Amino acid sequence: MQSLRLLVAAVAALALAAPARARVGTLRVANYNVENLYDAVVDQPTNNLTGAPGDADWCRTSWRRWTEERYRTKLGRLAWVIDRMKPDILVVEEVENLGTVQALADRVRADYGWTLPHIAHHDSTDPRGIDVAILSRYPVRSVEYKPRRWRRGLLVAEIEVDGTRVVVLANHWKSQIGDAEENIDIRTSEAAETRSEILRRLRFDPNATILSLGDYNEDMDGPSMMAGLKPANDRGTALASIRGPLSELRPYNVVGDIPKSARGSFFYARRKVWNTFDGIHVVPRMLLPLWRPGPAWRVGKPSETITFHPPEMRWGDDGRPKSYRRSRQYEAGTDGDEVSEENYYSDGYSDHFPVLTVLHRAAEPDAAKDAEDDAGKGRAAEEAEARPADPEAA
């Protein structure tokens, strides 16, 4: 018995002596449309709309001349971008399947040591066979998928970060190809579904940390966005909506923190126009100061949100995204004969720039109360100093 007591005492002493695990204080969250990340194997089912597999164009014999080597090269280029952002949570669009997402995570780890071991994914019914996915450094505790017929569905994941829950909604709305009015109607419906999911979760937990990320295929103030998701593009409007009913809440797009000249994440070459298609929306209470009661995670300073585009990812006088795609090259002085199929893919990454923001851990409840009390005392002291010492002098 004496030995047992000594053993218990020794274990307790070691536990007290062990250094406390560091508290996770920041989260780097990013969205990246990786543009047609297909493997080189045609293995998707025949699509009822096109009459062909969604990945039929992505093989050696197709017009794209897509090969395993080129697929691996693209994985390496995307891994380079991801390592430089070092996201803790990353939403990606235009991935073919779970295998390509896993291959991307494996490449980032193998080449650079940055790990994103937890993945949320669901196959969609998109005619092109492309999906959305969420990669995370922290465990994914639940995944929901809300399908949309012949479209990319809404992917929702709950991620556990150091005892807190972060809800991530991954979107890829209808493109602008086709009839403009029909596309707006479809995107408005998709936007409304995203908003509905946000409000549903806030009814259950008003202080939930919820982010909606994606390639919305529409500018941050576009008609579908404003009618369906009903966001605010400035912090003041978003914060003001907290005081109203939940039905009037205005999610905030942190891209609004980026200077207008640097917001563009996609360049429409035909019209030579920059678009803000890629965004990160947060619930308004995530804009509150760290010491105020509210969500476990808060948006950082405006300077902590960026469109990520180092010089290597840009080309041309306009600095548009350098895409990794088939591009014929010709030999100077010839009549236009192509040099080689091997020159179709030379360099590049994606036709979109990623968007990145930094979240900060809110103060613990007791610390938050102390900070609020200190703030109140500070305001009282300022008011006392402003009052005249002699009542007759008022």
Per-residue 3-state assignment (H helix, E strand, C coil) for 37-54:
ECCCCCCCCECCCCCCEC
- Contacting residues for 138 by C-beta, under 8 A, at least 6 apart: 88, 89, 118, 159, 160, 161, 162, 166
pLDDT of residue 46: 73
Of residues 358 and 384, more confidence is placed in 358
User: For residue 377, how far is the Cα from the chain centroid?
Assistant: 39
Q: What's phi and psi for 356, nearest 5 deg?
A: -130, 140
Residue 209 near residue 164 (C-beta atoms within 8 A): yes
pTM of the model: 0.85
pLDDT band at 108 (very low <50, low <70, confident <90, very high): very high
Q: Picking from 50-64, 156-170, 265-279, 362-376, which range would have the lowest pLDDT averaged per residue?
A: 362-376
Average pLDDT for residues 230-246, to the nearest whole number?
Answer: 97
Average pLDDT for residues 69-87, to the nearest whole number?
Answer: 96
pLDDT at 235 over 90: yes
Model pLDDT for residues 264-298, shown as the tens digit of each residue: 999 988 888 999 999 999 999 999 999 999 999 99
Model pLDDT for residues 156-199, shown as the tens digit of each residue: 999 999 999 999 999 999 999 999 999 999 999 999 999 999 99
Q: Picking from 57-61, 117-121, 206-210, which range would have the lowest pLDDT averaged per residue?
A: 57-61
Q: Report helix, strand or coil for 163.
A: coil
Q: What's phi and psi for 39, nearest 5 deg?
A: -80, -175
- Second CATH level (architecture) for the domain 27-362: 4-Layer Sandwich (3.60)
pLDDT at 116 over 80: yes
Buried b (16+ CB within 10 A) or exposed e, 358-386: bbbbbbeeeebeeeeeeeeeeeeeeeeee
pLDDT band at 62 (very low <50, low <70, confident <90, very high): confident
Model pLDDT for residues 313-354, shown as the tens digit of each residue: 999 889 999 999 876 554 444 444 444 555 566 689 999 999
Indicate the average pLDDT of the chain: 86
Delimit the domains of the chain by residue range.
Answer: 27-362, 366-394
